[in-house]
């Protein structure tokens, strides 16, 4: 009987502790959404809406709406988006002149800002970069980038690293729908069309090893002579830098960040052809993450002429020489994905 009473007391204490923590969290959300700081409100809503749990169709979508209406949340999210290009528009390739004496160098740089830390990988030879994919696209489990690399190497490839790729069908929390990309993808000249769309929001490399971004029809894609490309959704994988300029919406509101602070992945190219691969850690005490505007500014700082965001959050991962050199926030490690940008030896 004493034992049962002891167990009861333990559960009672735990219950009180959970209730207290819940009240603290709710109070914190109230201060963020109804407090004096407009910037804090915008940052909280934009960051939360980008996470799987708190998306509009996520299991905890109600959290950003605890003290705001659906309309208010939607308005905050909308004004935080990057500028979207027109249908049929593409980035310029004429200014990209690949160095004939290109080396096989790979440089890895630590990047940091006020709220983030990350890694930038610079690959001098763009012909070494291609889009890797899972063995088959289906409603199953994808692969971590190191797993993808290992499978390619078992088939005769020699690879040194890579980052995660574009958007995919998200089965939500507790599901493993990570092996089906969205839109259309091309890997080493092989086209896979997943969704029949009028225009595809894509980025990738032409047969001349030039990185191109565009909103293109399948006919226009064929005319561009791509060898590898990936599809991204504008909301979660926007174009960041186009023809040397950041695609930032000109909104006269200092609280508009171009997305919240989250883990991010991006890929781009300099005018000399060198490829930039960037991952930013997030949702951690020492690195909250970066907004899309900050991501664009990092790419510009290191010379990007064109650059695009990939899927972020738990998908963000960078591997080099068999090691994970980014810092995922998840206790379970990085997420499995259907595509990744891989680097040949």
- Mean pLDDT of successive 10-residue segments in the chain (345 residues)? 64 79 85 83 83 77 88 83 93 91 88 95 97 95 97 98 94 72 98 97 98 98 97 95 91 60 96 97 94 95 98 96 91 88 97
Quick one: 70 and 112 in the same domain? no
pLDDT at res. 128: 97
Residues 50 and 129 in one domain: no
Record the tokens describing residue 251, joined without a space: 């909104």
The whole-angstrom separation of Cα 114 and Cα 290 is 9
Same domain, yes or no, for 112 and 256? yes
The verdict on residue 217 lying in a domain is: yes
Q: Residue 163 has what pLDDT? A: 98
Pair (62, 117) in one structural domain: no
Kindly state whether residues 143 and 186 are assigned to the same domain. yes
- 85 is a domain residue: no
| Among 60, 78, 96, residue at a domain's last position | 78
Q: Please check whether residue 91 lies inside any domain of the structure.
A: no
Range of the structural domain that residue 14 is part of: 2-78
* 30 and 176 both lie in a single domain: no
96: in domain: no
265 and 325 belong to one structural domain: yes
Q: Are residues 221 and 277 in the same domain?
A: yes
Total number of domains in the chain:
2
62 shares its domain with 113: no
238 part of a folded domain: yes
Q: Retrieve residue 167's tokens.
A: 């958007």
Is 39 found in the same domain as 185?
no
What lies within 8 Å, CB to CB, of 238 at 6+ separation is 81, 82, 84, 232, 247, 292, 308, 309
- Examine the domain organization and report whether 219 and 298 are in the same domain: yes
Among residues 37, 59, 78, which one ends one of the domains?
A: 78
Secondary structure (3-state) at 202? strand
Query: 63 and 125 in one domain?
Result: no
Tell me, what's the pLDDT at 259?
A: 79
Reported pTM: 0.89
**Structural domain includes residue 94:** no
pLDDT for the residue numbered 175: 59
Asked whether residue 89 is assigned to any structural domain, the reply reads no
DSSP letter string, 13-82: HHHHHHHHHHHHHHHHHHHHHHSS-HHHHHHHHHHHHHSGGGSTTSTTTTGGGSSS-HHHHHHHHHTTPP
Nearest residue to 116 (alpha-carbon basis) of 244, 266, 233, 248: 266
Residue 166 is predicted with a pLDDT of 96
pLDDT of residue 254: 47
């Amino acid at each position: 009987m004493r034992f049962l009473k002891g167990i009861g007391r333990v559960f009672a204490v735990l219950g009180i502790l959970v209730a207290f923590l819940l009240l603290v969290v709710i109070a914190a959300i109230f201060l963020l959404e109804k407090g004096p700081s407009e910037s804090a409100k915008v940052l909280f809503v934009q960051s939360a809406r980008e996470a799987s749990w708190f998306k509009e169709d996520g299991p905890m979508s109600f959290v950003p709406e605890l003290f705001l209406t659906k309309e208010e949340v939607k308005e905050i999210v909308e004004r935080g988006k990057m500028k979207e290009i027109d249908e049929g528009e593409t980035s310029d390739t004429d200014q990209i002149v690949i160095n004939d004496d290109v080396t096989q160098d790979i440089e890895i740089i630590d990047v940091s800002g006020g709220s983030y830390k990350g890694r930038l990988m610079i690959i001098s030879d763009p012909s070494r970069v291609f889009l890797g994919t899972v063995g088959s696209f289906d409603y199953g489990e994808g692969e971590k980038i190191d797993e993808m690399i290992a499978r390619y190497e078992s088939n005769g490839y020699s690879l040194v690293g890579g980052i995660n790729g574009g958007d995919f069908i998200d089965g939500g929390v507790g599901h493993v729908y990570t092996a089906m990309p969205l839109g259309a993808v091309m890997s080493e000249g092989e086209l896979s069309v997943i969704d029949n769309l009028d225009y595809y929001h894509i980025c990738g490399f032409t047969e001349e090893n030039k990185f191109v971004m565009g909103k293109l029809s399948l006919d226009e894609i064929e005319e561009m002579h791509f060898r590898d490309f990936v599809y991204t959704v504008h909301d979660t994988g926007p174009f960041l830098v186009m023809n040397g300029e950041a695609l930032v919406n000109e909104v006269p509101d200092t609280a508009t960040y171009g997305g919240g602070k989250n883990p991010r992945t991006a890929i781009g190219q300099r005018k000399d052809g060198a490829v930039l691969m960037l991952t930013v850690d997030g949702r951690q005490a020492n690195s909250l993450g970066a907004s899309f505007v900050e991501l664009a500014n990092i790419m510009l700082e290191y010379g990007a002429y064109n650059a695009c965001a990939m899927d972020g959050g738990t998908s963000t991962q960078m591997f080099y020489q068999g090691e994970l050199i980014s810092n995922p926030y998840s206790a379970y490690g990085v997420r499995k994905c259907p595509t990744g940008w891989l680097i040949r030896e």
